[in-house]
Chains A and B, each alone.
Chain A
Amino acid sequence: DQQVKQNSPSLSVQEGRISILNCDYTNSMFDYFLWYKKYPAEGPTFLISISSIKDKNEDGRFTVFLNKSAKHLSLHIVPSQPGDSAVYFCAASGGGGSNYKLTFGKGTLLTVNP
């Protein structure tokens, strides 16, 4: 049972426009959500996170929105740049205790065309 779902395997956007990547989760115990970016042959790189007590977090061109009632989060990149082309993973953790393991989605390949 996949607890974190990224239903779009790929997304193509023009340079300068907005990229919106979506993620849904099913486990109501998740309380911390992260986005990672991954280039080929490299490990995932942390981008931005959001706690369940917030509904928005912004860092430069990157904004993450969280809708707890819908169990949905999204990553907005504005403006998109060719260097943003990568696989983006949504991840979640929660459940308390000392277990902070991340549950990942399958990823969305973003291509930003010049």
Chain B
Amino acid sequence: DIQMTQSPSSLSASVGDKVTITCRASQGINIYLAWFQQKPGKAPRSLIYATSTLQSGVPSRFSGSGSGTDFTLTIDSLQPEDFATYSCQQYNTYPPTFGPGTKVEVK
């Protein structure tokens, strides 16, 4: 199975900050990397697929980049509603695997 790691596991930030989260796959996954946002007690929300394509309705302050094994989620100008946990997922091969998540907290 492809293992997904994320760094950091948590971070503290303020509204207006630029936030960067890194995701690494244990082997190459082409561009088949997705990002999800989840708030406590809520279902995940799909943000980005194919490394950098924003899901419909996702604000443009979210962006994704990377290739092969190393990927990044960036949030430009963090907004109050962005405090949440972010998880990456590879869907290049079965089984699809998720990263452990990065919690973005209020500084």
The answer to whether A binds B is no
**Residues of A with Cβ closer than 8 Å to B?**
none
